[in-house]
Amino acid sequence: MLDKKYNSNIYGQDKILFMLLKDPTMSDTEIAKELGIYRQKVWRRRKQLEEENAVWGYTAVVDDSKFNHVSYMILMKTKTMNKDLVELLVHRISHGEPARQNIRLKNMCYINGEYDWLMRFTAPDHATARKYYETIRLLYSDHLMEKPLLVDVNMCLVSEGKMNPDLDRLFDYVP
């Protein structure tokens, strides 16, 4: 059954969604058995979530450092949102532009706070990350309020909702 410490209505009463978040590789049959319900109910709920785009897809959470990729973030402050900015953002993402620069774009979020945009990505080296950063800086220059901030990510403790199995590596950063 569900772990008691995680069974706290994390998504209302939607335990099927919780199980998909916990382990998206579980079959409908396995989820049904775990929850004590019929497989068809799981299948219908999964299909509904997918059709409503509530679940965008299923992915593996990868430790990019094991593949010699380094993680970075770009934080951007932009002027007021306008049609040109939206078209530029949508075009670049939907046409896979980061991948053409050997960049794995992991997250791109429109946020509230000091910054308006957060991009989390990996690159095989600092030079590739820097080139990507410069591309972003130049392409978005008409929309920027100031120069974007490029940040190296030392370690992710949680990624895509999954806890890093090597949390003890954080001790490597203690002087």
Adjacency order of strands within the sheet including 70-76:
104-110, 117-123, 70-76, 149-153
- Indicate whether 12 pLDDT > 60: no
The per-residue pLDDT for 7 is: 42
- Indicate whether 3 pLDDT > 50: no
Residues 151-165 pLDDT 10s: 999 999 988 888 899
The per-residue pLDDT for 72 is: 97
d(CA 76, CA 88): 15
Among 9-23, 32-46, 54-68, 103-117, which stretch is predicted with the lowest mean pLDDT?
Answer: 9-23
CB 15 within 8 A of CB 2: yes
Residues 19-58 pLDDT 10s: 888 888 999 999 999 999 999 999 999 999 999 988 888 8
Determine which helix (DSSP H) or strand (DSSP E) holds 162, and give its type and residue range.
strand 162-163
What tokens were used for 30?
């396995």
d(CA 27, CA 6): 20
d(CA 139, CA 133): 10
**DSSP labels, 38-94:** -HHHHHHHHHHHHHTTSS--------GGGGT-EEEEEEE-BSS--HHHHHHHHHHHH
The per-residue pLDDT for 30 is: 95
d(CA 83, CA 1): 48
d(CA 109, CA 101): 20
The set of residues, in sequence order, having a beta carbon less than 8 Å from that of 82 and lying 6+ positions away, is: 143
CATH architecture for segment(s) 64-154:
2-Layer Sandwich (3.30)
**Domain range list for the chain:** 4-51, 64-154
The per-residue pLDDT for 65 is: 83
- Report pTM: 0.78
